[in-house]
Structure 1
Amino acid sequence: MTGVPILQVVKGEPTAEELAALTVVVSALSQRRPARRPPLPVGGWSARAGLLRRPLQVGPGGWRAAGGPA
C-alpha cells in the first residue's frame, strides 16, 4: 500500500479497542459475497394469492358472495 489510510477518524478520540472493533466490522463487510440476482416475479400459474379467502360480506346476499368468486 502507498500509505493511504483505509479509515479516518474525523471526530472524537476513539480508543485502540474501538478502532480495532471498527476495523474488524469494516473488513468483514468488505468481504461479503456480492448480492444475488433479485428473485423473478411470480407468474400467474404459481401465484398463491388466489388461494386466500376474501373477507366475508355481512348483510343481504352475503351467503351467496361467500360461495365463490363474484
Structure 2
Amino acid sequence: MSAEEPLFRVVRGVPTAEELAALVGAIITRSRPAAAPAPTTTSAWARSGRPVASGGWRTSGLPRS
C-alpha cells in the first residue's frame, strides 16, 4: 500500500464529517490489541482482614487451649 492510497473508502452514500469521525474512531479502537489488565496488588492491611486457612476470624473469638 502506498502513502497516497487511502486506508478505506466510502462506496455508497455521503457520510457527514461526524459519521466519518465515528467510523475512524471505531476502526482504530478495534484494530488496537487489547491491553492486559493491570496486576492487582493487595496491601498488607487488606490481607490482614481476610480469613486464613486455619480458621481466621471464626476461631479468633474462641478461648485458646
Q: What is the TM-score with the length of structure 2 in the denominator? A: 0.46
Higher RCO (Cα < 8 Å, 6 or more apart): 1
Between Structure 1 and Structure 2, which shows a larger proportion of helix residues? 2
Q: What is the TM-score with the length of structure 1 in the denominator? A: 0.43
